[in-house]
Chain A
């Protein structure tokens, strides 16, 4: 089963994930003004929320992670040497 963790310290309360999620997995907590997970059973792990979140405040656990064939290992190798 999918588990979604929200880093409340990182979440800026922009609500982008709430608007973007097609399955209404998230809801804005109006007291804290932070995102909260309300419907984890409908999460299909598309990870649109990860892409749209400006604070990278989410972690999805126990999901199918798609192959990343687009990664250029040589570029990564060069970057690792620089960073």
Chain B
């Protein structure tokens, strides 16, 4: 049964609360997940592999915007800690390394490589909600987001590659190129 909520609205008032209860938010979340999944799948159908580039660009723009207020730094690990706070609990990640490796970062010429383990991810939730495979266009949203945020905070070029995807966590490699402004 859908309840009609009636009240007064004055244009000059900024509402203090969004209203509704937890079930409303859950319903809205599921509808958005279905929209996102449907859009991603349609985009892939129409644009093929070009869909990845479109979504990546959208994510990158979001990453640049999100990181504008963050403190600029040359320290990759510090930048990642700050970005973790911006991405929030919905994209909870940690730096990861195999047990035998000393530090998190590996230097390769003018590049620094670090592995990130994404544990909570709204994109993965959306894909599972809509029965879509991982590593599709929607995953590129998060790649773009990370790259955009790193570029904004460190003012250098970066890229993210996927190593492995799983139902509970995904391992990605972030590579930044020093001097590649």
Q: Is the CB of B169 within 8 A of A47?
A: yes
Main secondary structure on chain B at its contact with chain A?
mixed
Instruction: Tell me which of B26, B99, B120 contacts A66 (CB under 8 A).
Output: B120
Write out the residue numbers on chain B whose beta carbons fall within 8 Å of the beta carbon of A67.
Answer: 120, 125
Write out the residue numbers on chain A whose beta carbons fall within 8 Å of the beta carbon of B170.
Answer: 46
Q: Is the CB of A65 within 8 A of B125?
A: no
Number of interface residues of B (CB under 8 A): 27
Q: Is the CB of A63 within 8 A of B99?
A: no
The segment out of B5-13, B141-149, B159-167 that lies at the interface is B159-167
Instruction: Tell me which of B98, B124, B128, B164 contacts A48 (CB under 8 A).
Output: B164
Q: Is the CB of A46 within 8 A of B168?
A: yes
Q: How many A-B residue pairs have CB under 8 A?
A: 63
Report the separation of the CA atoms of residues A39 and B26 in the bound assembly, to the nearest whole angstrom.
39
> Known contacts A23-B98, A66-B121; is A44 also within 8 Å of B171 by CB?
yes
> Known contacts A66-B120, A69-B29; is A47 also within 8 Å of B166 by CB?
yes
Interface string of A50-71 (1 = CB under 8 A from B): 1100000000000111111110
> Known contacts A70-B33, A70-B125; is A64 also within 8 Å of B119 by CB?
yes
A residues whose Cβ falls under 8 Å from a Cβ of B: 22-23, 39, 41-42, 44-48, 50-51, 63-70, 72-73
